[in-house]
Amino acid sequence: MKIFFIGDIMGSPGRKAVAGLLHKVVDKHQIDLVIANVENASGGIGVTPEVAEQLFQMGIDIMTSGNHIWKHKEIMPYLDANDRILRPANYPEGAPGQGLTVIETAVGESVAVLNLEGRIFMNPLDCPFRTADRELASLPSTIKIILVDMHAEATSEKLALAWYLDGRASAVIGTHTHVQTADERILPGGLGYLTDAGMTGPADGVIGMDRQVIIHRFLTHLPQRFKVASHNLQLQGVVLDIAATGQCQELRRIQMALK
């Protein structure tokens, strides 16, 4: 089965890139399932229910997220009500929503998607490694295809999780840094890995934000009002080919520009 995982969608420019380019990827690679990280989809930070609905309409089947998911309060009941959008599973007990979901695809195969957040240079959440153990153990053994979005800053934490889950999941795809990495590979146990899927949005900013604002912040350390950049829209992500056994057969990085 072919899965397309889309890197962090950044504000309305990111949604525009999805609207203009997703169908091309789906057609070309005969995609069965589309997953996207949406933690920045509304105004560059967080996602509202309206924007989530808009993205579902565009053809995204499952949404993952990360540290910015809580920005807009309205998302909390939406997370509770909708199991097609995830927040990291390792938020403490009692957080709204869920971090794991199972979807049955048109071709009749079940796919589990697990969302985790790293702790190095980030929030002190529950252990992502042990949360992964627990969540994977909760799945029926008939589910073979398992994709993990590891939303984290440190390369070491993402890589360590991949090796930790090799043989137990189909893929670990990293998000959060907004820069696509060039280290796609399949580990010995069949787990497909990419440290970061990249960012879907304006390439002329700094990780999607207006570059003058970000440069000014680095020069002054005064708080700035963030502004999403707007030019040079691109879609980034990775196409995974996963066998019915759950083994990853191929990863192909995607970088497309909207003309």
Would you list which residues are annotated within the binding site for Fe cation? 8, 39-40, 67, 151, 176, 178
What minimum distance in Å lies between the beta carbon of 37 and Fe ion? Answer: 7
Residue 124's SS3 state is coil
CA distance 16 to 3: 21
Q: Which residues are catalytic?
A: 68
- Interacting partner of 214 out of a second copy, Fe ion, none (Cβ under 5 to 8 A depending on kind): a second copy
CA distance 93 to 95: 6
Segment interacting with a second copy, rule: CB under 8 A, options 24-32, 35-43, 135-143, 205-213:
205-213
Q: Which one of 195, 235, 239, 251 is in contact with a second copy (CB under 8 A)?
A: 195
Q: Which amino acid is at 11?
A: G
What minimum distance in Å lies between the beta carbon of 219 and Fe ion? Answer: 22
Question: Is residue 159 close enough to count as binding a second copy by CB under 8 A?
Answer: yes
Question: Is residue 121 close enough to count as binding a second copy by CB under 8 A?
Answer: yes
CA dihedral 40, 42, 43, 44 (to 10 degrees): 0
- If one counts every other C-beta atom within 10 angstroms of the C-beta of residue 138, the result is 9
Question: Is residue 193 close enough to count as binding a second copy by CB under 8 A?
Answer: no
Q: Which one of 74, 77, 84, 120 is in contact with a second copy (CB under 8 A)?
A: 120
C-beta contacts of 121-128 below 8 A and 24+ residues apart: 121/153, 121/154, 122/67, 122/152, 122/153, 123/67, 125/88, 125/90, 125/91, 125/92, 126/90, 126/91, 126/92, 127/90, 128/88, 128/90, 128/152, 128/157, 128/161
Binding site for a second copy (CB under 8 A): 70-71, 91-92, 94-95, 119-121, 123-127, 129-130, 153-157, 159-161, 163-164, 177-183, 195-196, 198, 206-207, 209, 211, 214-215, 218-223, 253, 255
Binding site for Fe ion (CB under 5 A): 8, 39-40, 66-67, 176
